[in-house]
């Protein structure tokens, strides 16, 4: 099988899940699309020569890096927006316009956009997880990566993967209820 055919088969297998992971993480379809597209091109450009068995953790590492980049860009643009857009309301109080902007901040789940409204409790519970916990949970449970592969994708130790995963499940249990659904 040619490398191009192998790459096509691999990307076909992961593209929908990758898109949903990115969408859950950034809460925005267009940003998620850009993240997945960029991840595909980066894998093809830089890592196509690597053994195909390495593609999955490499691809998800790239995906997670792009998600993190997206958080950083938003945080940066929010700071800029805040600097230029602070204004006083009718009572003369200074209002931080950036705080009114939608979009997630990595460590502020309360600011994270909920996907597709409040009706989808699974999406909501996942979107509200801290980013590293969500990554560990989705890569292990949904993508089926081993602990070692997840650690490679997340650039952390296997012990950290286990901790993030365990905490993610604990939070999901809290959010969804012990006897959910």
Partner 1 sequence: MNDKTQYDTDDALATAVVDRLSTDIDPEVAARLRAARQEAVYLVDSAHRKRAPWLAPAGGLVAASVVAAVLLREPGMQPMPVLDDAEMAAAAELELLEELEMLAWLDEEMLDAG
Binding site for partner 1 (CB under 8 A): 2-4, 7-8, 11-12, 15-17, 19-20, 29, 33, 36-37, 40-41, 43-45, 48, 122-123, 125-126, 137, 140-142, 166, 169, 172-173, 176, 178-181
Q: How far is the CB of 85 from partner 1 (least distance, A)?
A: 32
d(Cα 38, Cα 28) in Å, to the nearest integer?
A: 16
Closer to partner 1 by CB, 23 or 112: give it: 23
Q: How far is the CB of 104 from partner 1 (least distance, A)?
A: 18
Q: Can you say whether the dihedral through the CA atoms of 132, 134, 135, 137 is positive or negative?
A: positive
Q: Point out which residues pair with 11 in neighbouring strands.
A: none
d(Cα 68, Cα 78) in Å, to the nearest integer?
A: 15
Q: How far is the CB of 115 from partner 1 (least distance, A)?
A: 11
Q: How far is the CB of 146 from partner 1 (least distance, A)?
A: 15
Closer to partner 1 by CB, 34 or 96: give it: 34
d(Cα 49, Cα 88) in Å, to the nearest integer?
A: 57
Closer to partner 1 by CB, 2 or 53: give it: 2
**DSSP 3-state of 88:** strand
Closer to partner 1 by CB, 52 or 113: give it: 52
Per-state percent for the chain, helix, strand, coil, to nearest 5: 70, 5, 25
């Amino acid at each position: 099988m040619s490398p191009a055919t192998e790459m096509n088969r691999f990307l076909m297998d992961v593209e929908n899940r990758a898109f949903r992971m990115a969408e859950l993480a950034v809460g925005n379809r267009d940003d998620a699309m850009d993240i997945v597209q960029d991840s595909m091109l980066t894998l093809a450009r830089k890592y196509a020569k690597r053994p195909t068995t390495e593609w999955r953790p490499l691809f998800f590492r790239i995906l997670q890096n792009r998600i993190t980049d997206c958080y950083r860009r938003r945080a940066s643009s929010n700071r800029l927006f805040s600097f230029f857009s602070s204004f006083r309301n009718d009572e003369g109080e200074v209002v931080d316009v950036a705080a009114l902007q939608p979009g997630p901040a990595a460590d502020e789940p309360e600011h994270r956009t909920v996907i597709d409204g409040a009706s989808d409790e699974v999406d909501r519970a996942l979107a509200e997880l801290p980013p590293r916990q969500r990554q560990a949970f989705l890569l292990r449970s949904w993508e089926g990566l081993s602990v070692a592969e997840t650690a490679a994708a997340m650039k952390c130790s296997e012990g950290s993967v286990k901790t993030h995963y365990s905490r993610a499940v604990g939070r999901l249990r809290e959010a969804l209820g012990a006897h959910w659904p």
